[in-house]
Structure 1
Amino acid sequence: MCMRDRGHLLSAEFSKQLRKFCEREPFNKFTPRDVRRTFKTLAGAMGVSTEMRDRLQNHKRAGVSAKHYDRYDYIKEKREIISQWEEKLLSLG
């Protein structure tokens, strides 16, 4: 898949791949925004804090402290949440 300089997947490429997936699989049409919204909602129901959901979706943090002083990458926490999310998705199938 196509990547930007900062390592983020290009939205257009993700949308293209998602559209191809929906064409060959028996799914109702959905968009990348639907995926983001579903994650945000279900992760909240799983007890994931708003802060961590925002961090996982790469939302910018407000405030001087968050912007300039907190340089921690939260990788450990993100990986733990992604593992929980994977377990949740696998339990649905």
Structure 2
Amino acid sequence: MAALSTTIVTRPAYGFHEGGGGGCGGDCKSPPKYSKIFAKYQDHPGKDGQSCADCIFFIRTRADGQMDHCHLVSGEIGPHGWCRLFVRQQPAQCYGNRC
């Protein structure tokens, strides 16, 4: 009887991740990021004044407030931009005298 051979191919769904093949973010040390097109990134605030600077995924890398980065979206991101992956930062929780 002949042996069966199976091949499993792994690819990011719909090709919206950027980086190396197989779901690797290029160096395999970081997860792949979504493209600006997939995230529907825009360089101005979204509904209700939502902006990247208020999002939990925003990474401030520049003190001058020009362009920064995001944990989910590839490329440079403006603090006043917005995308559909936006999740508002929650204010710090205080318990007793500790914040």
Alignment TM-score, normalising by the size of structure 1: 0.25
Higher relative contact order (CA 8 A, sep 6+): 2
TM-score, normalised via structure 2 length:
0.24
Greater percentage in helix: 1
